[in-house]
Amino acid sequence: MNLTLRVWRQEHAQISGAFVTYPVSDINPDMSFLEMLDVVNEGLIARQETPIAFDHDCREGICGACSLTINGIPHGPNRATTACQLHMRFFADGDTIVIEPFRAKAFPVVRDLVVDRASFDRIIAAGGYVGVSTGSAPEANALPIAKAIADRAMDAAQCIGCGACVAACPNASAMLFTGAKVMHLGLVPQGQAERSDRVLRMVDQMDAEGFGGCTNYGECHEACPKEIPLEAIARLNGDYLRAALSSREEDAA
Amino acid sequence: MQWIRRFYASTIGKKVVMAVTGLLFTGFVVGHVSGNLLVYKSPQALNAYAAFLKGSAVVLWGVRLTLLASVALHAHAAYSLTLVSRRARPESYDQLDRQAGTWSARTMRWGGVLLLVFIVYHLLHFTVGSVHPSFSHTDVYTNVVTGFSVPAVAVFYIVAMLALAIHLHHGVWSLFQTLGINHPHTNRLRRVFATLLAGLVPLGFVAIVLGVVLGWVH
């Protein structure tokens, strides 16, 4: 396959970036998108040019490291697929492919296509956890959880924290990400003790990071490689409203 | 009262305020269009209904002030959330392909601004009467007929009602999600409910304007 790439190149967050066009030839359609970029980088290195920086780790769709906006869609055109699991056979010979980073104020560009998503880590640190006693593991069957509830909690827990929801959102909102964690922990009994505090603190942190508000477009769900349902945002809203009305932790802020 | 400040400062708190005030407006427009359709019954019926609404100054001003305060809150929250969202993406995409998002969802902000302009004009037109050619505080029926006999006014009202239809189509559906209501049992229902309201309420208002324009109401 022969392709034309328009890739966002930016040395660091403090200077502005620009698109650079690269003609690419002899791409095997069975390569993954990231393998294609590897080949492009080999060529750049051979020509003594700086390779294109992009995030990647597991390359099997479960780590959430890849963060490419491909032809205007985070992770590219395939539904429920991360960029690393997107294969070149889904493109046609002669295509022009535009590759941009995930764009949000809370995701500053580190270099080229690499963005800093530590804002997500800080939202999790604010409340996305449960407190447990250390020591020996509790009896596994002591805490019954209905299968339907466990399934829904698992659906929400599938979030890999890649940030495609923010990247796709016209408001650059992080509510699907935050909602996924609030839904996951809010459904199971282990998450009840901190439920009210969790949502208040996580939303405070989410707002402090500079993410936008939700206007229920639904773009986040479409872009999500793990298909986190919009119900997660409804649960986030409902839990937040309930917590705001009922919380007695005045110092929680 | 610290909690209220914290609540309204948050993006979700503002959304909830928009949802609750939006629900209030929805109830109001349903009542408003139902009463106004009395114009098709008789001049006496509409004027009697108008007099009934003005029967108690306490109730009248209570409702008026609640609605005005709700408009102010709804508009402030929308404006403030728009600024937050603009700031959240300082560098825009070269291309961003929309995958979901209805057309009505994308026009909420400017559609809302148009509705705000309409509300101000509408109040000056039919409540205060300052932009009305021959306003009477008691003969509402004649106000309607003479008011909509001006072609530009009729066109503006119809355009505003189209904006209302689009705003309700997303708003009424969206407000349930904002209040935490999203369940497989009710998700189809709220889509149908929002679409029905978005169709019927503006249609009822437009029917009054067209009634005057076409001479059915005279």
**Furthest-apart CA pair in chain A: how many Å?**
64
Enumerate residues 6+ apart whose C-beta is below 8 A from A156: A179, A180, A181, A183, A184, A187, A228, A229, A232
Looking at the structure, tell me whether residues A235 and A138 fall in a common domain.
yes
User: Measured between alpha carbons, how far is B40 from B51 in angstroms, rounded to an integer?
Assistant: 17
Q: pLDDT exceeding 90 applies to what percent of chain A?
A: 92
Q: A198: domain CATH number?
A: 1.10.1060.10
Looking at the structure, tell me whether residues A151 and A45 fall in a common domain.
no
Residue-wise DSSP of A14-31: TS--EEEEEEE----TTS
Instruction: Quick: pLDDT tens for A5-35.
Output: 999 999 998 999 999 999 999 999 999 999 9
Residue of chain B with shortest Cα separation from A7: B94
Q: What is the mean pLDDT of residues B196-214?
A: 97
Q: pLDDT exceeding 70 applies to what percent of chain A?
A: 98
Q: B149: domain CATH number?
A: 1.20.1300
8 Å CB contact of A231 and B182? yes
Is a pLDDT exceeding 50 seen at residue A253?
Answer: no
Looking at the structure, tell me whether residues A134 and A247 fall in a common domain.
yes
Looking at the structure, tell me whether residues A15 and A39 fall in a common domain.
yes
Amino acid, res. B47: N
Residue B95 lies in a domain: no
Looking at the structure, tell me whether residues A207 and A223 fall in a common domain.
yes
Looking at the structure, tell me whether residues A66 and A156 fall in a common domain.
no
Instruction: Quick: pLDDT tens for B2-17.
Output: 889 999 999 999 999 9
- The distance of B167 to chain A (nearest Cα, Å) reads 12
Residue B218 lies in a domain: no
Looking at the structure, tell me whether residues A214 and A92 fall in a common domain.
no
Pairing of strands A68-70, A18-24: unpaired
Work out the mean pLDDT of chain B and round it to a whole number: 96
Residue B59 lies in a domain: yes
Tell which of A199, A216, A239 to mutate to test the B interface (max B CBs under 10 Å). A216
User: Measured between alpha carbons, how far is A202 from A103 in angstroms, rounded to an integer?
Assistant: 21
Q: How many domains does chain B have?
A: 1
- Alpha carbon of B155 to those of A112, B99, B118, B206: distances in Å? 51, 34, 12, 10
Looking at the structure, tell me whether residues A103 and A141 fall in a common domain.
no
Residue of chain B with shortest Cα separation from A203: B10
Question: With contact defined as beta carbons under 8 Å apart, do B145 and B151 qualify?
Answer: no
Q: Check residue A251 and give its pLDDT.
A: 53
Looking at the structure, tell me whether residues A86 and A23 fall in a common domain.
yes
For residue B38, the enclosing domain spans 2-90+101-213
Residue B96 lies in a domain: no
Instruction: Quick: pLDDT tens for A42-99.
Output: 999 999 999 999 999 999 999 999 999 999 999 999 999 999 999 999 999 999 999 9
Enumerate residues 6+ apart whose C-beta is below 8 A from A2: A23, A24, A25, A26, A27, A93, A94
Q: Specify the length of chain A in residues.
A: 253
For residue A151, the enclosing domain spans 119-252
- The distance of B141 to chain A (nearest Cα, Å) reads 40
Looking at the structure, tell me whether residues A40 and A136 fall in a common domain.
no
Looking at the structure, tell me whether residues A29 and A69 fall in a common domain.
yes
Q: pLDDT exceeding 70 applies to what percent of chain B?
A: 100
Last residue of a domain, one of A77, A111, A145: A111
Instruction: Quick: pLDDT tens for B49-72.
Output: 999 999 999 999 999 999 999 999
3-class state of residue A9 by DSSP = strand
Q: What is the dihedral of CA A48, A54, A57, A59, to 10 degrees?
A: -100
Q: Check residue A252 and give its pLDDT.
A: 47
Q: What is the mean pLDDT of residues A114-121?
A: 98
Last residue of a domain, one of A53, A81, A111: A111
Strand order in the sheet with A96-101: A18-24, A3-9, A96-101, A68-70, A73-74
Last residue of a domain, one of A111, A137, A170: A111
- Alpha carbon of A82 to those of A56, A66, A111: distances in Å? 11, 7, 20
H-run or E-run covering A5:
strand A3-9
Q: A7: domain CATH number?
A: 3.10.20.30
Looking at the structure, tell me whether residues A30 and A80 fall in a common domain.
yes
Core vs surface per residue A160-188: b (16+ CB within 10 A) or e:
bbbbbbbbbbbbbbbbbbbbbbbbbbbbb
Pairing of strands A73-74, A96-101: unpaired
8 Å CB contact of B99 and A168? yes
Is a pLDDT exceeding 80 seen at residue B101?
Answer: no
Residue B82 lies in a domain: yes
- Interface membership of B182 toward A (CB under 8 Å): yes
